[in-house]
Amino acid sequence: MTVRFNSSLEQVPGYQAGMQAQDAREQYQLTDVVKLASNESPAPPHPKVVEVIQKAAADVNRYPDAGAKQLRRALADRYDTEPARVAVGNGSVEIVMAAAAALLQPGAELVYAWPAFSIYPHLAPLTGAREIRVPLDDYDHDLGAMLGEVTSATQLLLVCNPNNPTGTYLDAATIGEFVDAVPDHVTVLLDEAYIEFQAVDDPDTTTDLLADHANLVILRTFSKCYGLSGLRVGYALCSPKFRAAVDAVRQPFAVNAIAQAAATEALRHQDDVADRVEHNIVERVWIEEELSALGLEAPDSQANFSWISLADRDESKVFQGLAERGVIVRAGMPLGGPGHIRVTYGTRAENERFISALSEVL
């Protein structure tokens, strides 16, 4: 008898990660590859963080703290809140999926913009809920249209800001007005993985909304501006009920011991975060100017990547041509935006190599 799997698996799109540098070297027979596909930091963690990682590695024969108490305490201090209002996860994406498991069921609805973070389409088939995708309005979230889709059955509403893959940003005042208008029975999950890179608001402005909105969850991560993508640590600022709910539906020991130690230490080095953000802004401006000189259009980015329109050019040929020249980016098709590529800002040398390769391909 053939093994029978859950029929909903057929509807799960499957996450397609950016190509790894080693895979590109082998596939294209290259010795030197620049990876600008996964929105990672081009700089390694702070030296003190590396020291903590090395020290923590000596104790990996022991399980980590299941409650991540030290990390949650450090985050609570950072945001002037209580540890009970902080959830941590194996990347912020784990909290997204745990939120879906805790909030959604057959008959429930979730609303999100599209294109946005490519994990969102996994949530409906995994829970039996009904998804409602609201098209972007010229690369931006159409919050009015999203609000118009909210019904008594809506349980979860996701806003990715700055948005991945477009890099566009809605200011904190606009987000505040929107959260005010969303009914209390709807959990608003504000996915702010790239919030530190935007240059419009103080990154902590939206956290002020938490005091008046028990249905608001703010998601952030150590993967981007802290340079810890390989350790997978994300967190949510939320109500105690939300934290308890997501903790109830996922595996124990979700955040490993090295990740907990590294993230806790990384929080102590906000000067390092500021340096990374400054570098990102400089490279963002440079990339945007170079793209304009090539006659390419991209929405103004407030993240650490650009979403580049290829107009009538063949996306697959552009992606292939860049890869053959040792530059790995993300194709737009798997991210919900055919006819685009997404490129992460790297070092200046990496960015120059990307522009040179792109100009050759075009």
Question: What pLDDT does 10 receive?
Answer: 72
Question: Token digits for 120?
Answer: 């969102």
pTM, full prediction:
0.94
Question: What pLDDT does 139 receive?
Answer: 96
Question: What pLDDT does 197 receive?
Answer: 98
Low-confidence stretches of the chain (pLDDT beneath 70):
1, 14-19, 21, 24-29
Name the amino acid, one letter, at 345. Y
Question: What pLDDT does 104 receive?
Answer: 98
67-103 tens-digit pLDDT: 999 999 999 999 999 999 999 999 999 999 999 999 9
Which residue ranges form the domains of the chain, and what is each CATH number? 14-44+271-361 (3.90.1150.10), 47-266 (3.40.640.10)
Nearest CA to 33 among 45, 48, 18, 47? 18
What is the maximum alpha-carbon separation in the chain? 61
**Side-chain half-sphere CA neighbours of 154 within 13 A:** 23
For residue 46, give Cα distances in angstroms to 142, 263, 266, 273, 276. 38, 11, 7, 9, 11
> Strand (E) positions, the chain?
34-35, 86-89, 109-114, 130-135, 154-160, 187-191, 216-221, 234-237, 305-309, 327-328, 330-331, 340-344
CB distance 344 to 307 below 8 Å:
no
Name the amino acid, one letter, at 207. T
Q: How far from the centroid of its chain's Cα atoms is residue 266's Cα?
A: 18
